[in-house]
Amino acid sequence: MTPTARGVLASLGLSLGVLWGAGPAVAGSDDGNFMVRVLGTVVDPDTEATVRAGGVAIPGADADVSTEVIPALTLSYFFNKNLAVELFCCFAKHEIDGKGTISSFGEIADTWIFPPALTLQYHFTGMGAWKPYVGAGVQYINFFDEGEGKNVLGATSVSIDDAWGFTLQAGLDVSIGNGWSLNADVKKTWLDTTVTWHNTAAFAGANVVGDADLDPWIFSVGIGYRFNLFAANAATAPIK
């Protein structure tokens, strides 16, 4: 695990620790208006790419983005017992490998990503401890600290355009009491971006451009804590 990932995981653990020790100010409740979750998440891009050198398509060239396992955090607000909005957040580092006729190049780039997703959810009720939900929304991916990988293309630099995409979601919370629950969740996002390798020696100084459909699957499991921010307010204004 990278130092950045360890730092994120420590921050997530601290978040739940603060809630655990905060007492009545964040009273645990299966009907609370807020929920946080700490998750282990698999980000699995379903990648297809068209690659061009100097504006000319390279026949059979493709690219593949690595699958990564990372820590993640969600924060949800419940408008009522059925409707909620969720913010998902994490950091990950991915490698980009050549595929098809450029597979011999191996790793051709790497990048850190910040991919928050915001979804509006419908939570089903009347199933006891089992609380399934579905959602839809948007995901934004910010690419930063892009690198040339093994730089077999001889590029002077690599840049990746930030991207927006549409997200669908399905998940399940299983209550284990006092606001705590186990969670399993899957998201699918459809988005595309453009990767540019600048001034590549392998292609006589031309820019190499990849138009990539990333379309990641995001699988998560973890633990959640649902609560009311202020116990006094919760007693007078429960979620309905």
Dihedral class, residue 61 (left if φ above 0, else alpha if ψ from -120 to 50, else beta): beta
Beta strands at 61-65 and 92-100: parallel, antiparallel or unpaired: antiparallel
Using pLDDT thresholds of 50, 70 and 90, give the confidence band for residue 237: low
Reply yes or no on whether the pLDDT at 35 is more than 60: yes
* Rounded Cα–Cα distance for residues 240 and 232 (Å): 17
* Rounded Cα–Cα distance for residues 34 and 4 (Å): 27
Residue type, 14: L
φ/ψ of 237, rounded to 5, equals -140, 65
Residue 230 is predicted with a pLDDT of 63
Reply yes or no on whether the pLDDT at 21 is more than 70: no
Nearest to 170 by CA among 125, 129, 113, 217: 217
* Rounded Cα–Cα distance for residues 89 and 84 (Å): 16
Using pLDDT thresholds of 50, 70 and 90, give the confidence band for residue 22: very low
Residue 236 is predicted with a pLDDT of 42
Nearest to 157 by CA among 197, 195, 203, 194: 197
Percent of the chain with pLDDT over 90: 78
The overall average pLDDT reported for the chain is 87
**Contact status, residue 72 vs residue 41, Cβ threshold 8 Å:** yes
Give the 3-state secondary structure of residue 25: helix
- The per-residue pLDDT for range 106-145, each reduced to its tens digit, is 999 999 999 999 999 999 999 999 999 999 999 999 999 9
Residue 31 is predicted with a pLDDT of 87
Residue 69 is predicted with a pLDDT of 95
